[in-house]
Structure 1
Amino acid sequence: MFNIIKTQKRTVLFLAAAVLFAAVYGIFVYNQAETSSQFEQKAETVIPDENSQVIKLETVNEAVLPATESEAQEEPVPDNLKEGSEHPFVAKLQERLMELGFMENDEPTLFYGSVTANAIRIYQRQNNIVQDGIAGPETLASLFSQEAKYYAVSLGISGDDVKQIQNRLYELGYLAKEEEVTGEFNETTEKAVMKLQELNQLSIDGNVGRKTIRLLYSEEVKPDYLAYGEKNEVVLSAQKRLKSLGYLTTVPDGNYGKDTVTAVKQFQSRNDLVVDGYLGPSTRIALEQEEATPNGVMLGEQGESVKRIQELLNKYGYLSSSNVTGYFGEVTEQSVKRFQKDNGLKADGSVGVQTLSLLTADKSVKAGKDFRPAVVDAGSGGGGKTVNGNVKAFIDIAASKVGSKYVWGSKGPNSFDCSGFVYWSLNQIGVRQSYLTSSGWRNMGKYKRISNYDDIKPGDIVVGKGHMGIAAESQKVIDASSSNGKVVYRQRTAWWRNNFIVAWRIFE
């Protein structure tokens, strides 16, 4: 009898537990269904792009919600993401900042570094949120909302980003004095922007938005100062100085022709200026400095300056016309040495100020009848072959700067942005390459073009959408990363393939 009662009690307890479990499970399913319904409604949020089209946007809700319940327990998104934080959601945060123009395009990371914090501050400034660099609830709600705005600056705004814009306006001649580069967007800056927009056929509003930012660093931008086609005494004075420094290969005449553009670009490249071929304020000031770096063209270099030197060597009989290629190879070097020897100069094979002065003076000794210039120059048509460096040395030089700070617009030696890092590394290995932004690297033509991502080899320059780096061994890349806030040596992930535009082979 006792056993029957005991069994009945167990049955009742079991049934009660089953009922309780069913009730709890029902509530859980209902809540999950309701959350899923709300989530699906928000997942279709859209924002207009620059051309008033619409693109789907992952909302904060979608980005924050983890894939599984276990992930929700393990890695909840902090209420306040700040400098030093590391979390999967940081990648989505950086991706959004890049999309809206507050960070340079790069592979997003999990690390919330100083560059990310500064981008958040600028976003907060633009949206009247306390500028603490912390991605808190208010900032995140704004950043991922339908009303999120692209980067822009206008009258009354101040900051380091404004100073960078003013520097470029000064370079292009729209700001007349260096003292006007203050970091404060005042009426003078607004007028300069309006004039830039007017001359370049943009909407004239005095604000620096996406189109104006892109224009500032494009090759199509029209400056407000001396450029190709002009003729005056200022051009003549600059030409004389370029001639004395060994950059101009023709007689100064005051006419801003193609030879002057080539000379200005070469000077800018040698003197760490933005290479645009215009005689802007900074270029003219640099030309007047006693410490201005003179020209010196040597083995392994390429470009219009090299081609002009080869034409002059051909004129005096020291180089075959078949070697007028724009590539300074071994045959060109031997021709230079013979020219220097015949004209009483030190025969070092490098075209410096004295050698160039004689080449352009119409008084030089011509090659004797016994001299027979070679027909084929090593690398002449090799699409970028050099002989004064190799892949390993190039990668080693780039790797030596791993950990250096990322700073937008910096070209080294202790801080870099992505294009500045490539520029510095190439010049350190002896490849005399002008400074160009990633957009300028899209159509080089100077080196061997690699159009297939799978054909990339170590030492190639890899150019993506708004970013670039140096290919290393084992599918790795070395680059100045905005998302990491420093120069990194990392694996080339799917991001690089998805954003790939072109690669350039410097070394064969």
Structure 2
Amino acid sequence: MNIDKYWNKRIAGPFFIAAVAAACLSACSSESTESKETLTATPAAAIVSEAKKEQPLTLLTPGGFLLPSLDDVPELKENPIPEFLRNGVEHPIIASLQERLMNLGFMDNDEPTNYFGNVTEAAVKTYQRQNELVQDGIVGPETLNSIMSPSAKYYAVAKGVQGDDITRIQNRLYELGYLANADQVTGSFGDETEAAVMKLQEVNGLNVDGKVGRQTINLLYSEEIRPNYLSYGEKSEVVLACQQRLKTLGYLMTEPDGAYGNDTVAAVKQFQSRNDLVVDGFLGPSTRIALNSSGAQPNGMGLGEQGDSVIKIQQLLNKYGYLSKGNITGYYGEVTEKAVKAFQSRNGLSSDGAVGQMTMNKLTGSGVKSAGTSGGGSANDSGKGGTVKGGSGVSGLLSIARSKLGSPYVWGSKGPGSFDCSGFIYWSLNQAGVRQSYLTSSGWRSVGKYTKISSFGSLQAGDIIVVSGHVGIVAGGGKVIDASSSNGRVVERSLSSWWSNNFICGWRIFG
């Protein structure tokens, strides 16, 4: 083989990096454990560095070869790098490509795969758009060279750009109150979007330039972001009107006063949970629209519920003598259900043991008939995550999750035909009878509602596993079921070292 000819034609520049990546993929340590903030060592550089440990290389000199021969890279003969990587191609180098796109912010974080699918193609097109390359979604020499370059730029957009990613950004700006109405979500980055981004940057202490770069995009989906709408501490007629509506629907347990305090935050969160909204406790545009719509779901709690709202109910039941103080646990178990039934019976309500709109209004209103005793049972509602009304346990959850294997990955989708990673968790849990509101992958870090698993080795089938930027359902037998951006669909796959290296925590839904 003429190495000069092969070098010039097939693996010049980054294609050599790709070849080495394919040859030593199993030996290379995953760069996905590195923070997105640390991009000084590129995936390509890391791959070459690791390859040197396994097999010394002769460095390129002005008058010499990079490699003395290609005999030491058998993968090149057996599985040569395609000259063009495109939708439908499978090759080990694609895992390195996906990892690089993820680290640069063009793909959602996930375990890289060898498959080039629709999601990878969309990420490549976005990269090409930003770098003024032909937007064909095909990775040829020029695109690969640019992506793998140490000087490759992190995802960034500004005024004048159009695309699906702009629609996602605008939707988030609207949810956070920086865009005034839904009509401004157009997919085109214009003056209004630029002004909204500048306001967000100003409120959150970032450099105000109107561009969505690394810091701004990370902030948009973080728990630390400061919204531009009604929140804790505010007092206004708008807050009062929202409180009155929350009271009518059975969410607010105190009298409306126009002040956005802890009771209002708890009521808003409970409303968001019941109405398929992101649970953040803020009265943003979507929450206020849903709150005032005819389709707003009233409050209702029963066996298996947990949280601050349950504590409020238990405190009221204790106040009127239906529940002992020791049973104020935040968990809605059989003791709480029995107390609710007693309250309902004595106050002329249907005794079903669930706190619906009528029971809530009576419990928080006037003229309540007390139990006449301070009992409430000697047992304790201390269960956590183990009993779910209508639930079918671990086997049911896994069966439901597996029923969606092969469904396409679509950013922001909550089912039933397509999903992103957090939308898949949301849909699966609710289908299994677990009343769980929609949370982003970052929101799953601190949900607090279930038993927290801090050790990767302690995970069990049915647990929710949370890794950096991604979530899945532990399937048992060393497997996980998740909506995978790198695969482009819902898959069941191995809980590989990528999952352990990126592990944050797990949540045991069924005790």
* Aligned amino acid, residue 257 of structure 2: D
CA distance in 2: counterparts of 1:52 and 1:419, whole angstroms: 25
Which sits farther off after the overlay, 433-442 or 184-193?
Answer: 433-442
**Which of 466, 484, 492 is matched with 1:489 structurally?**
492
Q: Does the aligned pair in 2 maintain the 1:310–1:323 contact within 8 Å?
A: yes
Which residue type is aligned with residue 179 of structure 1?
A: D
Match of 2:403 in 1: 400
| Structure 2 match to 1:422 | 425
Equivalent residue, structure 1, for 2:44:
58
* Contact 1:404-1:487 within 8 A present in 2 as well: yes
Q: Deviations over 1:50-105 (max 9, x none)?
A: 86873244159959999944321221111111111111111111111111011111
Give the TM-score of the pair, scaled to structure 2: 0.87
Q: Which amino acid aligns with 2:469?
A: G
Match of 1:362 among 325, 346, 366: 366
Aligned equivalent of 1:435, options 406, 413, 438: 438
Residue 295 of structure 1 deviates from its aligned partner by 1.3
What letter is aligned with 1:106?
Answer: D
Superposed CA deviations along residues 355-402 of structure 1, whole A, max 9, x for unmatched, are 000000031111134x83113334x1x443324331111111111111
The one-letter code of the counterpart of 1:265 is K
Between stretches 388-397 and 470-479, larger displacement belongs to: 388-397
Match of 2:452 among 445, 449, 454: 449
Q: Which residue of 1 aligns with 2:58?
A: none
Describe how 1:284-433 pairs up with structure 2 within 5 A.
284-369=288-373, 372-378=375-381, 380=382, 382-388=383-389, 389=391, 390-433=393-436
Deviations 1:34-57 (A, max 9, x none): x99x99x989xxxx9986873244
Larger mean CA deviation between 216-225 and 482-491 belongs to: 216-225
Question: 1:4 is matched with which residue?
Answer: none
Shift of 1:154: 0.8
Give the aligned partner of residue 280 of structure 1.
284
Q: What's the CA shift for 1:433?
A: 1.9
In the superposition, relative to structure 1, how do residues 73 and 458 fare at CA in structure 2: closer, same or farther (>3 Å)?
A: same
Structure 2: distance between partners of 1:319 and 1:49: 49
TM-score, length-normalised on structure 1?
0.87
Question: SS in structure 2 opposite 1:405?
Answer: coil
User: 1:430: how far off?
Assistant: 2.2
Name the aligned partner's letter for residue 111 of structure 2. E
Distance 2:409 2:470 in 1: 13
Residues 298 and 50 from structure 1, CA distance in 2 versus in 1: closer, same or farther, beyond 3 angstroms?
Answer: closer
CA distance in 2, matches of 1:465, 1:52: 14
Superposed, which structure 2 residues align to 1:28-39 within 5 Å?
A: none
Counterpart-to-counterpart distance in 1, 2:334 and 2:71: 61
Q: Which one-letter code corresponds to 1:55 in the other structure?
A: A
Which residue in 2 is equivalent to 1:139? 143
Matched, 1:460 2:463: yes
Q: Is the 8 A contact 1:60 1:144 kept in 2?
A: no
- Do the aligned partners of 1:60 and 1:141 also contact (CA within 8 Å) in 2? no
Residue of structure 2 equivalent to 1:19: none
1:476 aligns with 2:462: no
CA drift at 1:282: 1.2
The residue type paired with residue 191 of structure 1 is: A
* Alignment of 1:502 onto 2:505: yes
The residue number in structure 1 matching 2:162 is 158
Amino acid at match of 1:403: G
Distance 1:194 1:502 in 2: 34
Do the aligned residues in 2 keep the contact of 1:247 with 1:267 (CA within 8 Å)?
yes
Inter-partner Cα distance in structure 2 for 1:420 and 1:461: 13
Q: Which residue of 2 aligns with 1:247?
A: 251
Taking structure 1 as reference, are residues 387 and 280 closer, same or farther at Cα in structure 2, changes over 3 Å only? closer
Cα deviation 1:116-143 (Å, max 9, x = unaligned)? 0000010011101111111111110100
Match of 1:219 in 2: 223
Quick check: 1:170–1:281 contact (8 Å CA) kept in 2? yes
Q: Distance in 2 between matches of 1:256 and 1:49?
A: 37
Secondary structure of residue in 1 paired with 2:44: coil
Structure 1, residues 158-204: CA drift from partner, whole Å, max 9, x if none?
A: 11111111111111111111111101000110010000010110111
Residue 193, structure 1, aligned to residue 197, structure 2: yes
* In 1, Cα distance between equivalents of 2:416 and 2:497: 30
| Gap change, CA 1:289 and 1:137, over 3 Å in 2 | same
Distance, in Å, in 2 between the alignment partners of 1:394 and 1:339 is 34
Distance 1:334 1:419 in 2: 35
Q: 1:176 aligns with which of 168, 176, 180?
A: 180
CA–CA separation in structure 1 for the residues paired with 2:72 and 2:379: 66
Give distance in 2, aligned partners of 1:292 and 1:438. 26
Query: Do the aligned partners of 1:463 and 1:469 also contact (CA within 8 Å) in 2?
Result: yes
Q: Is the 2:223–2:442 contact (alpha carbons within 8 Å) kept by the matching residues of 1? A: no
- Pair 1:375–1:244, CA change in 2 (3 A): same
Q: Aligned letter for 1:384?
A: G
Does the CA-based 8 Å contact 1:419-1:468 persist in structure 2?
yes
Displacement of 1:442 in angstroms is 1.6
SS of alignment partner, residue 172 of structure 2? helix
**AA at the equivalent of 2:386:** K
Question: 1:270 matched to which residue of 2?
Answer: 274
**Partner of 1:472: helix, strand, or coil?**
strand
Q: CA deviation at 1:259?
A: 1.0
Q: CA deviation at 1:257?
A: 0.7
Give, as a single letter, the amino acid of the residue that structure 2 aligns with 1:317: G
Structure 1 equivalent of residue 30 of structure 2: none
